[in-house]
Amino acid sequence: MTLQEINKLAQQGEGLKIEFKKKAAFPDKIVKEIIAMANTEGGNLLIGVDDDGTVSGQRFIEEEVFVMQKAIREQIKPELVYEVEVVKLNPKKGVAVFSIPRSLDRPHFILENNRKRAFVRVADRSIQASREMWEILRRGKQSKDMVFTYGEKETILMKALAEHEKVTLREFQHLAKLPRFLASKTLVRLVLANVIQIVPQEKEDYYLSKES
């Protein structure tokens, strides 16, 4: 990657597929951004670029790369395949570009207090994946048609979406008078069948009709 290409990326600002870091000061937090990209649409992590998109570079950029590679290797499960490139601004400063593909091995996760935590990218933020999002990531890798029975609970859901545009798991569970696990299973199945879409959120995901 050339310096011109880095400047072009930086001018786009942070978003779904791009994240800036001045330096790798908190690798534990940065690996979450990398996981989120791998679990969503892939993207580029640029180290040596300010939050406002200024390509300021970082001294000893190779050390920054070493720190991040160690964190990725030790913390991200399963093993993540990625590429990294260092572009020099001058003899002392450089920028590191971590290219993260949308992974075929998703969901990637970290272990925190013996709990698996996955992350997904929403706009320019990385948020923890819900149980439903985790299941969609896991099962969505298989490109096969999802067959389901369009019954009473599905009718209730589609009617609610027609009236309110979006519905949460909790709202659907209440409307359809279902146990949580069955409401969850129904929503996941309909997302995988491409009938509805999930919009991950910090507190509670919501679901939209694919026609929305």
Q: Give me the pLDDT at residue 52, please.
A: 93
User: What residues of the chain score a pLDDT lower than 70?
Assistant: 142-148, 212
Task: Locate the domains of the chain by residue range.
Answer: 3-127, 130-209
pTM of the model: 0.91
Tens digits of residue pLDDT in 15-61: 999 999 999 999 999 999 999 999 999 999 999 999 999 999 999 99
pLDDT at residue 124 in the model: 92
130-209 and 3-127 share a CATH fold = no
CA distance 25 to 20: 13
Q: What is the architecture, at CATH level 2, of domain 3-127? A: 2-Layer Sandwich (3.30)
**Residue 198 CB contacts under 8 Å (≥ 6 apart), including other chains:** 132, 133, 136, 187, 191, 205, 206, 207
* Confidence (pLDDT) at 141: 75
Instruction: Decide yes or no: CATH 3.40.50.1220 for domain 130-209.
Output: no
Nearest one of 181, 207, 180, 177 to 192, comparing CA atoms? 207
Check residue 91 and give its pLDDT: 92
According to the model, what pLDDT value does residue 204 have? 96
